[in-house]
Structure 1
Amino acid sequence: MLDIFSMTIKRFQQQRRIQVYLPRSYQLGEKKYPVLYMHDGQNVFRNDEAIGGVSLELESYLDATGLDVIVVAIDQNSEERKNEYCPWENGAYSQKFLGAESSSFGGKGKQYVEFIVEELKPSIDEKYRTIENQTAMAGISMGGLLTLYAACLYPTVFKNLYIFSGAFYANQEKMEDLLEATDLSAIRTLYMDCGTDEAGIGTFISKEFLASNHAIYEVVKRNFPAADFKVLEGEEHNYRSFQKRVQQLFSFLVNEVSL
């Protein structure tokens, strides 16, 4: 079941649609549930409203599996996505991907994460039966960059992280520096992956995209040796590929104990 409402992001003075998946068991008792927060909300649950026409199809997946988890999906603002999902303005590293003459973007990621932690999460915890200290976050592409950034800012809030094909290149330098300076010991699960053909078979950008992910992972595992990084042979940067990995998003449920 999807519960859908709008909420004002005060820092941006803008309404944003929030979709909340409640498991079928939610109406049958007083049980509390862990929560997974996700970005790019239009592409999380259903194909009929997905940008590009293909979503993760999580509503169907969760209905079929019967997993006891609440999923909160925050719609993207397509015009501002690159600004909101990048904590800093893009740096020199990004010129490998975008060209030296590319326009700058980014810098609103901190405000966006603060909205989730200071406004959205308290509202969700008040409205629904959540286990407040069992909170995960997942993101794809720039949403993956933002997810790792959120973990650095709030490592005691987001303890299980899932990143598909992280577009770290936009803030590569700053992200590596932040990771070096962050204590990640409170995190329980940190999963990353990247396809070998993100931008097509054998392309320069595909190789650089994978190299960017490898570099981030090398910094991550120095602070969090249990981090998991998978290179996915032949996988590309699209939702058909991302769909294949949805089971991974809920691996944290295996080790969580309901309160």
Structure 2
Amino acid sequence: MKRYLFIWLLLLYITSTFAQQSLSTIPSRIISPSINSDGSVTFSLYMPNAKQVSIKGDWLINGSASMQLTNGIWSYQTSTLLPDVYIYTFNVDGVDLIDPSNVYQIRDASTLYSIFMIEGTSHMYGVKDISHGTVSHRWYPSPTLNKQRRLSIYTPPGYESSKKKYPVLYLLHGMGGDEEAWLNLGRVSQILDNLIESGKASPMIVVMSNGNVVQQATPGQDSKGFYMPSFLLPHTMDGEFESSFNDILAFIESNYNVKKNKAGRAIAGLSMGGYHSLYISANNPELFDYIGLFSPAIYPNKGIASTIYEKMDEKLMQQAKQGYKLYWIGIGKDDFLYNDVAKQRNQMNALHMPYIYRETDKGHVWTNWRNYLSEFVTLIFK
């Protein structure tokens, strides 16, 4: 009996010793990203057997930067970053990975990113201790497309208990996005909450539709179930969404306390959403007093035939004749659509169409679009 007891105690000692040695080789919980007091950010990844690791981030001018290896941990520290929302991924020996130490992740089109935020005193993207609006998802009938489709809708603080009628901003996403893109990447509800609270923006409803007419809703939320998202979808810029837009308008004006006149409607969008906003407003000059084009695509692809895109000089002249209160255009200096926007501005100048133009740094990025939205909503419904 004593012999068995001795063997058992010996095994327990050996197991405990090996366990302690094993644990000693594993670093304590890695903090990544770590936001430093000077506004720089440190990223860390435990990957001791990797040969090469880099980080891709939307603040990096060249797109990516190499990480350095110390005791099995790859690390990288940025310079001081301005208050904003940032996305990034790691690349380990040619394979893109999200940060396993960061629970905050987000999908942009068909790619998953890690995300972090640097806040500032005047920053509009964070959640503050103020009154908040409501975000809901509603299904609406689209007779034009012969399907039920999903909307994301922001209603301002106090909407549910108020009897007054509110103006509406129809806010459209870019290619690869959907009805959740402006909410998740664009921080719409936070921006509106903060600007309404400060008195810089009028209380308004924001309607975010899905501009991909082949979809009912964002991937995973429609009858197709879970499937691999795709950046390029059929019928995204061929006139079908623009032709079906009045289905959205009819649903909102039948189900919400909204102003049903031109002065109570605005339409804006980024990239493909700017393209949709351009053509929807030009084909329906009686509908919107406020139009916003954020880094917009301008011209249809070759081979696209639709009456929506025909006789644009005449349509823009009619839009100018009927009048509007604000036409706002913004684009980054490094945006690949910069030259097309310059041509559109020349056309509008020739037609004597007034507009506000904002030219910013950077390219086709969410940093610009959040900033554009933050300015645009302070100018409408005044």
Q: TM-score with structure 1 length normalisation?
A: 0.73
**Separation in structure 1 between the aligned mates of residue 194 and residue 358 of structure 2, nearest angstrom:** 26
Q: 1:12 to 1:38 in 2, by over 3 A?
A: same
Whole-angstrom distance in 1 between the partners of 2:164 and 2:193 = 17
Partner residue of 1:16?
A: 149
Answering whether residue 289 of structure 2 is matched by residue 159 of structure 1, we say yes
Gaps of 5+ in 1: 48-54, 87-106, 199-205
Alignment partners' CA distance in 1, 2:145 and 2:230: 13
Partner of 1:70: 205
Gap runs ≥5 in structure 2:
1-133, 174-178, 197-201, 213-228
SS at match of 1:236: coil
- Residue 222 of structure 1 deviates from its aligned partner by 3.1
Alpha carbons of structure 1 residues 195 and 80: separation in structure 2 relative to 1, 3 Å: closer
2:326 match:
189
Measure how far apart 1:211 and its partner are.
1.3
- Residue 343 of structure 2 corresponds to residue 215 of structure 1: yes
Q: Given the alignment, which residue of 157, 160, 181 partners 1:43?
A: 181
The 5-angstrom pairing of residues 97-136 of structure 1 reads 107=238, 109=239, 111-117=240-246, 119-133=247-261, 134-136=264-266
Bigger Cα displacement from structure 2, 163-172 vs 24-33: 163-172
Among candidates 273, 280, 285, match of residue 143 of structure 1: 273
CA distance in 1, matches of 2:234, 2:329: 22
Q: Secondary structure at 2:167's aligned position in 1?
A: strand
Aligned-pair identity in percent equals: 20
CA deviation vs aligned residue, 1:181-223 (integer Å, no higher than 9, x gap): 121133221111111112xxxxxxx3xx211101011112333
Decide which structure has the larger Cα Rg and report it.
2
Deviations 1:56-78 (A, max 9, x none): 10111112222410000002437
| Counterparts of 1:81 and 1:147, CA distance in 2 | 19
Cα offsets for 1:25-81 (capped at 9, x unmatched): 212321111101122322111x2xxxxxxx110111112222410000002437596
Higher helix share: 1
Q: What SS is found at the alignment partner of 1:231?
A: strand
Cα gap change, 1:135 to 1:80, in 2 (>3 Å): farther
Report which of the two has the higher share of strand. 2
Contact kept, 8 Å, 1:179 with 1:219, in 2: the verdict is: no
Which TM-score applies when normalising by structure 2? 0.51
Is the CA contact 2:166–2:205 (under 8 Å) kept in the aligned structure 1?
yes
Is the aligned partner of 1:5 residue 2:138? yes
- Conservation of the 8 A alpha-carbon contact between 1:42 and 1:76: no
Q: 1:83 to 1:218 in 2, by over 3 A?
A: farther
